[in-house]
Structure 1
Amino acid sequence: MTFSLGPRATSSGYRLAAFDSIGSTNAEALMRARAGETGPIWLVTKAQTAGRGRRQRAWVAPYGNLASSILEVIDTSPGVAATLSFAAGLALESALKAVSLEACVRSSGSDDVTFRLKWPNDVLAGGRKLAGILLEAETVAHDRLAVVVGIGVNVAAAPDGMPNAAVSLRDLGIDIGAEDVFRALSEAWVEFRDVWDQGRGFRSLRRLWLDRAAGVGQTVSVQSGASTISGRFDTLDDDGCLIVMTSDGKRVAVSAGDVYFGTAASIGAT
């Protein structure tokens, strides 16, 4: 099976560049943007050898997993562009629900897998990391902003030795290929990208995201550099920051960090 866009993505003008193997789809997308590519274009592979996650961490992608990036060159500020990651999370959660339901129907199984969005950029299944998102942006010609949203999904295998437990679709009993996940993702991206609407629709996205969020109301610890903020995960603000209600009643807005919930929150805070 080969990678292909869904019909809505095709009719909306999206293009596709698929690779047998590549170092990093995000790096390739940024290189193309510097050379004049304006998108929208998806770059996708089942074998990524030099992927990276947040804070330049390695993103391990065994063969058969999905590594993809969407490149769009837009006229907006970096701060507004950053909220596009919430559209990506919603699109990914929607795509995963669609393919898992399809797989369950084919196998006459039961659709009992729930996917949750973990701030700021993960998708969880059963509390374990299934997928991650990395948004990068830089200014290109004519002061426009090249935005690349990298989306990786553990389809065939989950990497070992990660800071947090990981899981794959195969581990969950969902027999589906990376090509199927990508096709569904390309369709869902169009839907939630349209809701985002250059940042004007972020309040709608925020409500949808919170409905699917992991850990709302739970004990949370957020590590950002050398500092740790602990309390209760209250909500997101209108900029997409995580709001932590501390034990002394203060509401603290966190713009970036590693999040730990429940009993893991006390471990993460040590």
Structure 2
Amino acid sequence: MESVDSTNTYLARTLAALPGDDARERLRQLGLEPGWQSLQEPNQVGVGAPPVLPLALAIADQQTRCRGRLDRVWYNQSGQSFLASWAVAVPTDLLTGPTAGWLPMAVGMAVAGGLEQTLTACGARNLTGKRFDQALRLKWPNDLFCSGRKLAGVLCEALPVGPQWSVLVAGVGLNLFVPADSLPTAESTSLQYHYWPLSGYESLRNQLAVSVSEHISRELTALAQSGDEAQQAFCDLHERVVERSWTLGKPVEVRPVAGPNLKGTAVQIAADATLLVEDGSGERVSVSTADVGVLPSLPTQGSDMKQT
């Protein structure tokens, strides 16, 4: 789409209007609508592999009401950002149960993996010589940072459908070619200042759509398994999130929706995906939904960024 109010809202609104209490069936119906293609079917699997979760993707070159976490507005101009949302059919207990907090992190890891795959495909290199895992890090719970600055945000929302299957709607906003003087905050950045050469906007957008879709499918399909396979998938995700964390070990300021701010050190990501912050007295506070800002000073604008 050239423009839409919000790809998350668009997908949720469209799916909510379809009949049936099985999210998988609603996604199949969506795939029959004009303009919808590449809907993954659950039988597209290899021998011994878990069934692939059905998913649909909506991309807009511009969003008039682009939303982020905690009701933030995501800056976007046509041709400057990758703006997309995925609707994925997942087991309802995965969406609403005690492990639901891992879903945004799984999507964040998928965005990082898909971006790395895209950059590799176009032969891009980091302008400071950093490896992908050194430059691209996750700020809890799911923002993608590049060399200490926010490159992408993820917004995950639940669409309850039925007792067995529901929908996770995951929106991504990733700055590609946003000029320095248009970056919305001091901690924001744009891909063009860290990697080169890059493909043109349309080519980069399309490759990202394919790559991130593959990684989202892989991450969520693993978590949707049952028994020991699911437990192993969550343990594996936990380990990978900790390894790529931009937050752990750093001084942080927790800004809750209600109540006073808290300063401390991020010391652990717990098994339920909450962040444990240790205050000055040594007491540990569990954080689940608040905004968490990393406190060390940002590099001077331009010190790790190059105009290309």
In the superposition, the TM-score normalised over structure 1's length comes to 0.81
- With over 3 angstroms needed to count, the CA separation of the structure-2 counterparts of 1:242 and 1:109, relative to structure 1, is closer
Relative distance call for 1:98 and 1:144 in structure 2 (3 A) is closer
In 1, the alpha carbon distance for the partners of 2:220 and 2:89 equals: 13
Cα distance in 1, alignment partners of residues 247 and 88 from structure 2: 31
Q: 1:33 to 1:158 in 2, by over 3 A?
A: farther
Letter in 2 for 1:204: D
Quote the residue 1:10 is aligned against. none
Q: Measure, in 2, the Cα distance between the counterparts of 1:136 and 1:89.
A: 14
Aligned residues: 246
Residue 95 of structure 1: CA displacement? 1.5
Partner of 1:14: none
Q: What is the one-letter code of the residue matched to 1:124?
A: F
Structure 1 residue 188, shift from structure 2 partner: 1.5
Once the two structures are superposed, residues 208-265 of structure 1 have per-residue CA deviations (whole angstroms, 9 ceiling, x without a partner) of 1110010311111111133212211111111110111222122211001222223359
Q: Secondary structure at the match of 1:33?
A: helix
Counterpart position of 2:243: 211
Query: C-alpha distance in 1, partners of 2:288/2:192?
Result: 33
| Superposition RMSD in Å | 2.6
**TM-score after normalising by structure 2:** 0.72
In structure 2, do the counterparts of structure 1 residues 99 and 73 end up closer, same or farther at CA, with 3 Å as the change threshold? Answer: closer
Q: Distance in 1 between matches of 2:56 and 2:179?
A: 27
Letter in 1 for 2:143: D
Residues 24, 49 of structure 1: 8 Å contact kept:
yes
Deviation, structure 1 residue 116? 0.6
Pair 1:29 & 2:11 matched: yes
Indicate the percent of aligned positions where both proteins have the same amino acid.
26
* Deviation of the 1:83 alpha carbon: 2.0
Bigger mean CA deviation after superposition, 174-183 or 131-140: 174-183
What is the Cα deviation at residue 73 of structure 1? 3.2
Find the aligned partners of 1:72 and 1:189 in 2 and give their Cα distance.
9
1:85 alignment counterpart = 104
TM-aligned CA deviation for residue 45 of structure 1: 2.1
Aligned partners of 1:41 and 1:71 also within 8 Å: yes
Which residue does the alignment assign to 2:209?
182
Partner SS, residue 249 of structure 2: coil
Kindly tell me: are residues 245 and 127 of structure 1, through their superposed partners in 2, closer, same or farther at Cα, counting changes over 3 Å? Answer: same
The partner residue of 1:102 within 102, 121, 126 is 121
Highest CA radius of gyration, 1 or 2? 2
Counterpart Cα distance in 2 of 1:158 and 1:222: 29
Cα distance in 2 between the residues matched to 1:189 and 1:58: 24
**Residue correspondence of structure 1 range 21-60 to structure 2 within 5 A:** 21-36=3-18, 37-38=26-27, 39-60=54-75
Gaps (5+ residues) in structure 2?
A: 19-25, 28-53, 299-308
1:142–1:240 Cα change, 3 Å: closer
Amino acid at match of 2:251: T
**CA-CA distance at 1:164 after TM superposition:** 4.6
Give secondary structure in 2 for the equivalent of 1:96: helix
In 2, distance between residues paired with 1:108 and 1:94? 15
Deviation per residue, 1:72-100 (Å, 9 max, x gap): 23322424334211111111111122222
> 1:81/1:72 Cα in 2 relative to 1: closer, same or farther (>3 Å)?
farther
**Structure 2 partner of 1:133:** 154
- The verdict on how the C-alpha distance between 1:109 and 1:59 changes in structure 2, with shifts beyond 3 A counting, is closer
Aligned CA distance change for structure 1 residues 108 and 90 (closer, same or farther; 3 Å): closer
What amino acid is aligned across from residue 31 of structure 1 in structure 2?
R
Q: Which region of structure 1 is more displaced relative to structure 2, 206-215 or 94-103?
A: 94-103
Q: What secondary structure does 1:263 align onto?
A: coil
How much does 1:130 deviate?
0.5
Q: Distance in 2 between matches of 1:69 and 1:216?
A: 28
Q: Which runs of 5 or more structure 1 residues have no equivalent in the other structure?
A: 1-18, 266-270
Contact 1:100/1:111, CA 8 A, preserved across alignment: no
> Aligned partners of 2:217, 2:167: CA distance in 1, in Å?
18
Whether the 8 Å contact between 1:104 and 1:111 is mirrored in structure 2 is no
One-letter amino acid matched to 2:246: A
Looking at structure 1, the residues matched to 186 and 162 of structure 2 have their Cα atoms a distance apart, in angstroms, of 39
Distance (whole Å) between structure 1 residues aligned to residue 64 and residue 15 of structure 2: 21
Name the stretch that deviates more: 173-182 or 124-133.
173-182
Aligned to 1:145: 166
